[in-house]
Homo-oligomer: A and B are copies of this chain.
Amino acid sequence: MTDDAQAAQIPDVSLEKASRFVAASGFVVEEVTATSVRGYAELDENHHPPWGVIHGGVYTTIVESAGSIGASYAVAERGEFAVGVHNATDFLRPSTGARVNVEGNALHQGRTQQLWEVIITDSASGKQISRGQLRLQNVPMPEGN
């Protein structure tokens, strides 16, 4: 299967088509391969809890999105997609707002499970803000898809 055909198997992940919650996370996907995902997000007061720094859930959500998109892409050609079973995200530095780079990589891709790592970096300083691991299970696509 070509990369294009493989890509055709995964749904549109653009922000324009995203649900309210996914859109609010702000994560923009720029590149997906079977072992990596790359993108960015503009984080600001739209992502704050009441106490003025970026909500940790923004980072966990980006880890979840990036890992799920990459892992699902990786198994699309065999009629499967990947669902997260465990998301473990560390918060390394607080930020009040930043453009962040998102870089996801497969750490392990087994027959039934995958493990992805996602690193979120302040684009300006190059420092890591957060990093997480997502464990996923490969499952058959629903009939009719």
Interfacial residues, chain A to chain B (CB-CB below 8 A)? 10-13, 17-26, 45-51, 53, 55-58, 60-65, 68, 72, 81, 83-92, 94, 107-108, 110, 112-113, 115, 128, 131, 133, 135, 137
Contact = CB atoms under 8 A, between A and B. Distances in A.
Tell me how many chains of this kind the complex includes. 4
Contact of A89 (B19, B87, B94): B87
Contact of A91 (B12, B22, B62, B83): B83
Nearest to A58: B21
A29 B74 CA distance: 37
B56 A84 contact: yes
A55 B86 contact: no
Contact of A19 (B46, B64, B68, B83): B46
Contacts of A64: 55-57, 60
B68 A46 contact: no
Contacts of A92: 107-108, 110, 115
10 contacts: A11-B51, A19-B45, A19-B46, A19-B55, A20-B47, A21-B47, A21-B48, A86-B90, A90-B107, A113-B137
Contact of A49 (B57, B58, B60, B68): B68
